[in-house]
Structure 1
Amino acid sequence: MTLWLLPLLPFIAGITIATMGDRSRAWLGTLAIVVLGATLTLALLAAAQGWSATLIWSDTIRLSAEFMPISAAVAVMVPAVALAVTFHATQHEETRGLGRLTGLLIVFTGAMELVVVANDLLTLLIGWELIGACSWALISHKWREIENTHSGLYAFLMTRFGDLGLFAAVMALFAATGSFDYAGIATLQGPLQWIVAYGILLSAASKAGQVPFAPWLFRAMAGPSSVSALLHAATLVAAGAYILARLQPSLTLAPGFGATTIAIGLATALAGGVIGVLQNHAKRLLAASTSAQLGFMFVAVGAGYPGVAALHLIVHATFKAPLFLSAGLAGSAIGSYRLDQMRLGQAMPFIAGLAALATVGLAGLPVTGGGWSKEEVVKAAEHAGFWLALAVMIGGGLSAAYATRFQLLAFGRCDEDNCDREVSVPSWPETLGIAILAVMTLALTMLWFSPVADAAAATLGSLLPKGTALAFSLSLAFVATGVAGGVYLVRHYPALGATGAAAAASDWLGLPTLITVAVVRPVDALARAAAWADDHVIDAGPRGVAVLGRRGSTFIAAADNQVVDQGIRWTAVFGDWLARVSDRFGEAVSDGIPEGTARLTGMIGHDLRRLQTGFSHRYYAYIIGGVFVVVAILAAGA
């Protein structure tokens, strides 16, 4: 067996399904279960047996895949989450284009698996570009609405800018070591080490929606809810945190890498928490929470605990995916994602219950898997400094606030304004995927038991940090405060973020406007100036040459007409003179030459006949005379 099968199976199958066109929901659902179920089985076998693979292109270029403890765990998580999400998509999303959507979700999964199993930067780059292309296609899935295609391009360009860092890292590593292998990163020194480490960090931050790249996650909400669920939980966004956790031992050797990673993660966690509290759009609230939660993972990586980051990544996937799927059902039920218009707890009680299991994990409440992994991040931060741990606790309190607000507004009890409306209840196939993910979330509560947590850490090849009772108590206090604050906002400000200053601040505190003013408009102005220069300066030369050419052609044509006409006239005069001369002397010359030649030939013949006497002695005399002539000639020549 080869490890290449893990990404190739879903990739090839997904392309095949996408090109088949639309089919029935049952047929597409069955295909999704078969393909992703087989991918999950391959991941389990590969992790258990330690598969590896190498594809040699040349003496210096090769692609390699290998399982490390962290990559093995994430490789199993990705198809497990994708299976539930993709099946939900086949049962819930619009039938128009459903075959293409299903196939692309499966391709997305295969591309992410390539990122996970990669053991060199070149293989990583291939997978990295594939997940970026898939995200663009999936966000723009409803391409007939022009705003969706604009959002897909915005997200693609924002993440592509960050990808420049990975390209620089690939080139720097090859220039330094002559290889793309991950092992070479630890051997680097000097500027090339800095380029590789910070190039990967830049690319990871853009994919993970960290500041200043975070606004693209809001634009990505143009895609179907199933796309948002897979993108945020187990593929593109998760890839940013995964690659830092995977390469942390080598990257942290670069000066200042840990502190920079912590700064990016902490700033995003706090800003994302505030924005999540202010958001009135259900999917955007969850998108802000994704940035914040991945910010916690960046903090754990920077603090020196990549295993904690990987554990939080896995736990986060199990509760974020069902939240997006349930938000999609709520949005479809009322035709809007405005939280203050939902309150579907009584209309959709089962979905409300499943969402609650995921919400408490997002809030970081005790006894939940999300609460456990968040506390591990706090412990990791405490090892780097108490004030850092305190900042993470504040981020945890904000998480509790926006999670509470989401649950109570989306699936709380209806009020007088919306209790009488008719809401279509989702079918059991639509609910099944969410239920599977909720069960996974519930199962991770076992991490609060020390033997289970230690075994999970050992599986990842890492140790769990030790924390203090004071930090744990403070963290729980912040969570409780966040829950209370979320309840208060729902009761007194249910439409917070719908209008006014809160609505403006909820769009990443004005960061998109800053990007537009500081980046987009200057680049656009530069492009317009370059276009003007191209039209009026650079093109002036060719246009001038063309004008001169036209004028020269006109002059040459006129001169040509005069010269040619004059030549024709002189030719006619010469021809007339030649004809007259020929008429006078031509006949005499033409007749005299053959007649004179004939007379001369006759005279010569008459004289030669005299030599033919018939006497032999005369012939001998002729021969002897000839010999003497030849001898005389040779003697004169000597």
Structure 2
Amino acid sequence: MPGVNALAWALPALPGACGALLSVTGRRGDRVAPAAALAVTAATLALAVTAAVTRPRASVALFAGLRAELAVDGLSAVLVITVSAVALAVLVFAAGEIHEARARFFGLMLLFVGAMLATVTATGLAPLLMAWEVMGAMSYALIGFWWRDGDRVRSATVAFVTTRAGDLGLYLAAGCALAGTGTLDLAGLAAAPRPWRDLVAAGIVTAALGKSAQLPFSFWLSRAMAGPTPVSALLHSATMVAAGAYLLLRVQPLLAATGWAATLAAWIGALTALLLGAVALAQRDLKQLLAASTCAQVGFMVLAAGVSAVAGGTAHLVAHAAVKNLLFMGAGAWLSALGTKDLAELHGAARRHRLVGVTFGVGALALAGLPPLSLWVTKDAVLSTVAERSAALHVVALAAAFLAAAYAARAGFAVWSPRDDATRDDTERSGTRRVGLLAGLPMPPMAFVAAVAGVVGVPVVFTAWRALLGTGPEPGPEGGGLLLSGALAVAAALAVRGRRLAAPRTLAGWLYLERGAVAVVWRPVTSLARALARFDDRVLDGAVRGVSRAVTVLAGWSRRGDETGVDGAVRGLAAGAARLGALLRRPQTGQVHTYFAQAAVVLVLLALVIVLVR
């Protein structure tokens, strides 16, 4: 139906167009920006629910023989609702937190939401690439929102350049897909012949790992914490960081068809969950802890894509979106109220602001994987499939789950510990000593979702969940696995209770991944660029200057030859003509008898000539 199909375009277009309009209104739109953004996001959520029911599909000719198509199927139906709901909660929170350049902030946020909705509904690499690029550009603008602060802008640049480096893989994938299959449809990538199929898989995996801050790209997420807290809550829960994991879940048949790509994704996801879990445990800054935990939790989703646990990975994505959104909002609320996000200075914060404390506590318990909360079940839905595929992967994943419980428990214990004399406020900025109504409003609903979203793991419901997504058969959470993961979570929580952790600098410094990237990639590339610039300046430009000098010399020689040769000949000809003219003027005396005498001489000479010729 045309009206239903138009919904596929309207879903990303509504927030995108309204965001673009808001972002250019300047200060004139600051007063109405929050209300307008909330109204647009609420309408977008309504459209998302309608699209999930009606499943619209729309396409338009893009290039000769290629079409751009957006469609809502089982997987994207879940994602459009998740993205829209999280965006609405974040913008309600932001309405109480952001008090400057509101039109620009809310406009950029809506543009970002529109790009993410286009990403999850794109059925081909062409519209996916367009949305992917807009999402990256908006993340740069939002992380560097406070653009007068040079450090924040540098952090935004590091995040942007790092993700852009990974994004080049998507261009490689698009080119190879077109060469190998003549189409850019995601559904047809698995049927591409070798070597195109392997090249497409390599490009997509690289782009997904970069966008989802997986090893070795994880460090950019630490830099992204320089942005406003609502940006962290949106980017790192259900949108940009989850986009890479979503893409791998979407193209899981391609990963399986190559063989090596699925194994690579599984191991990178498992190792990211393990190593970044250790990094999260070592952090003293609450937002940095949550950022590292995001890398680790997305690692479980990437692991799920590698072992074909699409239903389990998607369930974990949805549950994690609610949990991490809630935790970032809690961290932002305390930063505004108390002026700090240092774990040591947040002792007693949950007791001083009970609503934030209780909801944050629910989120921390869910993140820890404690029963019966959401991530306990969704994580086990992934682990059940991992256990069937590889014992080694299962051991690594269980260790990562143990660390997840440890870092989540550390955050929860820190904010609920009694306040002592050493605790200080305002270590980063002046706090307001209160949590605004709008900032606290979305936390209880998110806490409820974080607590009960794990119901998708109940065996009966999990079967319906697989049917909704349209995935193949895969094992769901089982009693033995749930007991094991629950016991590990409890043990880890008890292990960190009341203990001060002396973390190695390597872990506290995010495994020095940024230093490694600078040493291995950035410095060689910039050195090569400087060498090429010198080559250009000295050799190429020198050659151009040499040619210019040679032409100038030749021109001088030509000028001298012209002056002495051609000009001399012209002057000689002119002089001869002048002399001839002077001679011809002599007979012209003006006397008639002289003219008669001259005529007689001419006639005599003519007669002589005639006589001689005859």
TM-score by length of 2: 0.89
- Name the residue aligned to 1:424: 433
- Name the residue aligned to 2:443: 434
- Name the residue aligned to 2:165: 161
- Name the residue aligned to 1:383: 388
Question: Cα RMSD (Å) of the superposition?
Answer: 2.7
- Name the residue aligned to 2:76: 71
Does residue 1:476 correspond to 2:495, yes or no?
A: no
CA distance in 2, matches of 1:103, 1:585: 99
Match of 2:195, SS? helix
Give yes or no for contact 2:249–2:313 (8 Å, CA) kept in 1. Answer: yes
Pairing 1:130-149 to 2, within 5 Å after superposition: 130-149=134-153
Q: Which amino acid aligns with 1:541?
A: A
What is the CA-CA distance between 1:516 and the residue it aligns to? Answer: 1.3
Q: Deviations for 1:579-629, whole angstroms, at most 9, x for unmatched residues?
A: 532431245699969x99xxxxxxxxxxxxxxxxxxxxxxxxxxxxxxxxx
Q: Which amino acid aligns with 1:433?
A: P
Does residue 1:151 correspond to 2:155, yes or no?
A: yes
CA distance in 2, matches of 1:137, 1:374: 33
Q: Which amino acid aligns with 1:414?
A: R
Deviates more, 1:275-284 or 1:567-576: 567-576
Pairing 1:54-453 to 2, within 5 Å after superposition: 54-93=59-98, 95-343=99-347, 344-418=349-423, 424-447=433-456, 449-453=458-462
From 24, 32, 49, the equivalent of 1:27 is 32
Residues 290 and 87 of structure 1: is their aligned pair in 2 closer, same or farther, counting only changes over 3 Å? same
CA distance in 2, matches of 1:483, 1:477: 10
- Name the residue aligned to 2:585: 583
Residues 114 and 166 of structure 1: is their aligned pair in 2 closer, same or farther, counting only changes over 3 Å? same
What is the CA-CA distance between 1:226 and the residue it aligns to? Answer: 0.8
CA distance in 2, matches of 1:569, 1:465: 104
From 535, 539, 542, the equivalent of 2:541 is 539
CA distance in 2, matches of 1:504, 1:335: 27
What is the CA-CA distance between 1:434 and the residue it aligns to? Answer: 2.8
Residues 189 and 255 of structure 1: is their aligned pair in 2 closer, same or farther, counting only changes over 3 Å? farther
- Name the residue aligned to 2:609: none
Deviates more, 1:341-350 or 1:274-283: 341-350
- Name the residue aligned to 2:57: 52
What is the CA-CA distance between 1:448 and the residue it aligns to? Answer: 5.7
- Name the residue aligned to 1:607: none
Give yes or no for contact 2:376–2:485 (8 Å, CA) kept in 1. Answer: no
CA distance in 2, matches of 1:466, 1:552: 84
From 469, 482, 485, the equivalent of 2:495 is 485
Deviates more, 1:581-590 or 1:52-61: 581-590
Q: Percent identity?
A: 33
What is the CA-CA distance between 1:157 and the residue it aligns to? Answer: 1.7
TM-score by length of 1: 0.86
Deviates more, 1:468-477 or 1:271-280: 468-477
Residues 583 and 255 of structure 1: is their aligned pair in 2 closer, same or farther, counting only changes over 3 Å? same
Give yes or no for contact 1:32–1:87 (8 Å, CA) kept in 2. Answer: no
Match of 1:64, SS? strand
Q: Where does the alignment leave 5 or more consecutive residues of structure 2 unmatched?
A: 600-614
Residues 104 and 411 of structure 1: is their aligned pair in 2 closer, same or farther, counting only changes over 3 Å? farther
- Name the residue aligned to 1:610: none
What is the CA-CA distance between 1:483 and the residue it aligns to? Answer: 0.7
Give yes or no for contact 1:345–1:414 (8 Å, CA) kept in 2. Answer: no
- Name the residue aligned to 2:603: none
Give yes or no for contact 2:270–2:397 (8 Å, CA) kept in 1. Answer: yes
What is the CA-CA distance between 1:58 and the residue it aligns to? Answer: 4.8
Q: Deviations for 1:303-329, whole angstroms, at most 9, x for unmatched residues?
A: 121111011000000010121122122
- Name the residue aligned to 1:619: none
What is the CA-CA distance between 1:468 and the residue it aligns to? Answer: 5.6
Give yes or no for contact 2:26–2:101 (8 Å, CA) kept in 1. Answer: yes
Give yes or no for contact 2:376–2:486 (8 Å, CA) kept in 1. Answer: no
CA distance in 2, matches of 1:301, 1:74: 16
Deviates more, 1:418-427 or 1:583-592: 583-592
Residues 453 and 442 of structure 1: is their aligned pair in 2 closer, same or farther, counting only changes over 3 Å? same
What is the CA-CA distance between 1:26 and the residue it aligns to? Answer: 6.8
Match of 1:4, SS? helix
Residues 448 and 123 of structure 1: is their aligned pair in 2 closer, same or farther, counting only changes over 3 Å? closer
Residues 554 and 26 of structure 1: is their aligned pair in 2 closer, same or farther, counting only changes over 3 Å? closer
Give yes or no for contact 1:393–1:474 (8 Å, CA) kept in 2. Answer: no
CA distance in 1, matches of 2:170, 2:333: 37
Q: Which amino acid aligns with 1:526?
A: L
Q: Which amino acid aligns with 2:529?
A: A
Q: Which amino acid aligns with 1:480?
A: V
CA distance in 2, matches of 1:589, 1:62: 100
What is the CA-CA distance between 1:554 and the residue it aligns to? Answer: 4.6
Residues 514 and 562 of structure 1: is their aligned pair in 2 closer, same or farther, counting only changes over 3 Å? same
What is the CA-CA distance between 1:262 and the residue it aligns to? Answer: 0.8
